[in-house]
Amino acid sequence: MKDGITLKNLSIGYKTPLLEGLSLHMAEGEFWVIVGPNGVGKSTLVKTILGIVPPLSGRILIHGKDCTHGCEEKRFLSYVPQMEDYSHHFPATALDVVLSGFFPRLGRFERITEKEVERALYWMERFGIADVKEKPFNELSGGQQRKVLIARALVGNPHYIFLDEPTTGVDLKSSKRILEIIDTLHKEKGFGICMVTHELNFVWDYIEKVVLIGYREFFVGRKEEILNEELLSRIYQVDVKIAKTDFGPVFLIGDKHV
């Protein structure tokens, strides 16, 4: 097993910092979530690790290699962006979009092979979207589009997959299905997952580690240590209660501001 992703004293933001001094280690095969209120820098953190946004300072190591300013190892990372970051006017079919997941690994004059098409179709089958493979991406429902983008992120056999709010706007059953598939694949293939989400009630069963981000502060650790009433109330500035139920803990938001 390789050496995971390490952030050392990382500062992120755009000219002015959103977060400073973040250090953590994502071992390969772990399931992480990044949670916190709107606008604190969750997506920016993911984009910084992926090399889309440059860090303000600090270091990013992937498999032990310094990737702060880009490196070959980045090809092992794949990304499912927020839907708003994705062009809805994309003229390609669902299958074309999934196949585009191979592009980062293709050499300059290499083309997609039959084997890769088979592989893309395999993933589409697993997500239950093979029947819409010839449909234009922008004519698919929101839930189908998300499944296409997740399949696209998986075809290149990543070691880590970063997902930015993959279940936002998706109905309850489809959200559960998406998370179940991601979790099954995570266990089968052993790749690491890092997901930005607001949906703690949904993800609790699957996740192991958490980055909880507030305005210029953060907490990192195992879910049981971080997702407690005190820290959540402090970060969200509202009274958070955790009810124990047969389905596991349920996170409730009160109307009292702390």
Residues engaged in binding ligand ATP (CB under 6 A): 14, 18, 38-44
Query: Would you say 52 or 250 has its CB closer to ligand ATP?
Result: 52
| Closest-CA residue to 223 (of 237, 205, 239) | 205
C-beta atoms surrounding 90 within 10 Å: 14
- The nearest distance, CB 132 to ligand ATP, in angstroms, is 28
- The nearest distance, CB 54 to ligand ATP, in angstroms, is 11
d(CA 236, CA 226): 13
Give me the helices (H) in 15-141, please: 42-50, 94-99, 114-126
- The nearest distance, CB 102 to ligand ATP, in angstroms, is 28
Query: Residue 214 pairs with which residues in a beta bridge?
Result: 217
- The nearest distance, CB 95 to ligand ATP, in angstroms, is 29
Query: Would you say 39 or 54 has its CB closer to ligand ATP?
Result: 39
Residues listed for the chain: 258
Query: Would you say 13 or 136 has its CB closer to ligand ATP?
Result: 13
Pull the structure tokens for residue 156: 């290149």
Q: Which residues contact 74 (CB under 8 A, 6 or more apart)?
A: 50, 51, 62, 67
Query: Would you say 93 or 167 has its CB closer to ligand ATP?
Result: 167
